[in-house]
Amino acid sequence: MKPIFARGISNQFRLTLAIILSVILIVANNRLDPVRKSVSSVLSPLQYIANVPGALLDWSAESLATRNMLAQQNKELLRQQLLMSERLQRFEHLRQENDRLRSLLGSPVHMDAKKIVAEVMEVASDPFHQYVVLNHGARSGVFVGQPVVDAQGVVGQVVQVSELSSRVLLISDVTHAIPVRVTRNDVRVVANGTGVLDELELKYVSKSTDIRVGDLLVSSGLGNRFPEGYPVARVMSLVKDDGQNYANVIAQPLAALDRIRYLLLIWPDEPASEALEDETAMILSAAKKAAEKAEVGE
Amino acid sequence: MSMHIANGRWVVWLSFLVAMLFQIMPLPDLVEAWRPDWLLLVMIYWAMALPHRYNILSAWILGVMLDIMLGAHLGIRALSMSLVIYVVVLHFQRLRNFPMWQQALMVASLICLHHLVIFWVQFVVGTVTFDVSLFLPAISSLIIWPWVFWILRRVRRLYKVR
């Protein structure tokens, strides 16, 4: 039988100890990143296991797709690739021109940054923040503060790294802010997250500032965190209330934050490796083939 | 008074592991807010069944692990889970003898306490807005508790966990 009177340490003492330890953790939270990193490295296999059902579902959806669906998807992708490669050709020309102009001006030539594709793992996160977990970690060279983008625009930045996974804070989180500029007239502002997935707020915009609905905001590179020139958001509404000191500006992120699946991790300071350039060349040649095929088809 | 040898420790920790998996498993957006607090439910069961082996400090360790898994501010769930388990350990005999519906109600109110403490600390360290959906997990936990209790009791008897 179990003893009726507990021996050893009393419950009150245990509780006091637990509370003291918790308070220490809460206060020292920001300095405990190494601890967090090592513990989450040990625990990250759990995340991979938790991800299995979703991955299985995806896999079965893929393997059960009919031939027709695949053919249709293939056709659509080929069409998109053709359009993209056309744009890429023009872009390549512009890039060379830009480099030449930059060298004439004596300003440093813009380098292509190293990037890798990461997949979002479907695991639950802290309900009070907007996080996604990626399947790349310190082993792939991911670091805290690293910018993350998707096909449409900036998604967020890495805030926690473990050995095999990392956690990204979305730009729409309340604690996130990103320096941006308006492409139309280079006005610089800061876009704060609001906690709502499709809303950013531009703070401290004076009423005389030239910002209009529909303006495109791109990262300005001023915080030394996000590289310059990535699209971030588009201004959706602008209210100039006489009772308030500043204009109330709401923008919508360009990245589809509610259904992100594949993301790009960017190393702004590392030049792109040869492999990636090869990849670009490969894409170009593949597109050329596709174009020829399309011509033959027609 | 003879020394009691712990038995089946791995069973308990395995159950914690499974609960942790359920806790971070992806759910459709519709039911996400209703996710029961699996880890806390399992911890409450073991604290009720074996309060001298699994109590406040085990809850604290699990809480820290959960905080890290969720990427939350460290120590929040550790604090709330140890508080809840303290209440359980104080009243474990009464809780054991309650009829099932009363026990489930008690557990639901403990889950409410858990979420209130989390909200409160989160409020102190950051910006959050109060939302009644905070208490939805208490309702789902209320429904799920009898099953958790039944399964874990069978596991405990099967593996003679002491």
CB contact B146 to A (< 8 Å): no
What element of type H or E holds A7? none
Q: How big is the A-B interface in CB pairs under 8 Å?
A: 126
- Category of A147 on φ-ψ map: left (φ > 0), alpha (ψ -120 to 50) or beta: beta
What does R_g of chain A's alpha carbons equal in angstroms?
A: 24
Neighboring chain A residues of B74 at a CB cutoff of 8 Å: 25-26, 28-29, 32, 36
* Overall domain count for chain A: 1
Tell me: the pLDDT tens digits for A80-90? 999 998 888 88
CA–CA separation, B114 vs A115, rounded Å? 42
- Whether the CB of A124 is below 8 Å from some CB of chain B: the reply is yes
B58 touches chain A (CB under 8 A): no
Cβ atoms of A147 and A225 closer than 8 Å = yes
Residue B133 lies in a domain: yes
- Confidence at residue B1, expressed as pLDDT on a 0 to 100 scale: 35
Q: What is the spatial distance between Cα A23 and Cα A5, in angstroms, rounded to a whole number?
A: 30
Number of domains within chain B: 1
Interface test with B, best of A5, A13, A15, A162 (most B CBs within 10 A): A15
Of residues B89, B121, B126, nearest to A11 (C-beta): B89
Q: Within 13 Å of residue A120, how many CA atoms lie on the same side as its CB?
A: 22
Q: Is residue B132 part of a domain?
A: yes
Query: Are the beta carbons of A227 and A268 closer than 8 angstroms?
Result: yes
Question: DSSP letters along A23-81, please?
Answer: HHHHHHGGG-HHHHHHHHHHHHHHHHHHHHHHHHHHHHHHHT--HHHHHHHHHHHHHHH
Q: Which residue of A has its CA nearest to B124?
A: A26
Ranges of beta strands (E only) in chain A are: 113-121, 131-134, 147-149, 154-161, 166-170, 177-182, 188-193, 200-205, 216-219, 231-239, 247-253, 262-271
Q: Compute the distance between CA of residue A200 and CA of residue A207 in angstroms, rounded to an integer.
A: 18
* Residue A194 included in any domain: yes
Chain center to CA of A242: 36
Q: What are the distances in angstroms from CA B149 to CA A142, A184, B39, B141, B155?
A: 42, 63, 13, 11, 10
Hunting for tokens 């053919």 — which residue is that? Answer: A71
pTM, two decimals, is 0.80
The length of chain A is 298
Please identify among residues 103-122 of chain B the ones whose CB lies closer than 8 Å to any CB of chain A.
121-122
Which pair of tokens denotes residue A144? 């805290």
Q: What is the pLDDT of residues B58-73, one digit of tens each?
A: 999 999 999 998 888 8
pLDDT in tens, B85-94: 999 999 999 9
In a domain, A40, yes or no: no
Domain of A230, in residue numbers? 177-254
Cα separation, A235 vs A79, in Å, equals: 30
Position A230 in a domain: yes
Give pLDDT tens digits for B11-41: 899 999 999 999 888 887 788 888 899 999 9
CB within 8 Å: B75 and A3: no
Helix then strand then coil, in percent of chain A rounded to 5, is: 40, 25, 35
Measured between CB atoms, does B66 come within 8 Å of chain A?
no
**What is the pLDDT tens value at each position of chain A, 298 positions in all?**
455 555 667 888 889 999 999 999 988 888 888 888 888 888 888 888 888 887 888 888 888 877 888 899 999 999 999 999 888 888 888 888 888 888 888 776 666 778 889 988 877 788 888 899 999 999 999 999 999 998 888 999 999 898 889 999 999 998 899 999 999 998 999 999 988 888 999 988 888 888 989 999 999 888 888 988 889 999 999 998 888 889 999 999 998 888 888 899 998 887 766 555 555 555 556 656 666 665 555 4
* pLDDT for residue A115: 85
- Cβ <8 Å between A49 and B21: yes
In a domain, A85, yes or no: no
Q: How far apart are CA A58 and CA B68, in angstroms?
A: 27
Please check whether residue A213 lies inside any domain of the structure: yes
- Nearest-by-CA chain B residue for A173: B127
Residue B68 lies in a domain: yes
Residue A243 belongs to domain with CATH number: 2.40.10.350
Q: Measured between CB atoms, does B60 come within 8 Å of chain A?
A: yes
- A246 domain residue, yes or no: yes
Q: Which of B18, B72, B77 is nearest to B45 (CA)?
A: B18
Strand duo A177-182 + A188-193: pairing: antiparallel
Q: Is residue A192 part of a domain?
A: yes
* Assigned domain for B71 exists: yes
Tokens representing B107 are 């557990």
- Tally of residues, chain B: 162
Q: Which domain holds residue B153?
A: 9-26+33-158
For residue A5, give the chain B residue with the closest CA: B52
A3·B52 Cβ contact <8 A: yes
What's the DSSP call for residue B65?
Answer: H
Decide: A157 and A167 in contact? Cβ < 8 Å. no
Would you call A263 helix, strand, or coil by DSSP? strand
Q: Half-sphere exposure of residue A3, counting CA atoms within 13 Å on the CB side?
A: 11
- Asked if the structure places residue B1 within a domain, the reply is no
Task: Judge whether B14 is closer than 8 Å to chain A, CB to CB.
Answer: no
Tell me the backbone φ, ψ of residue B23, rounded to 5 degrees: -65, -35
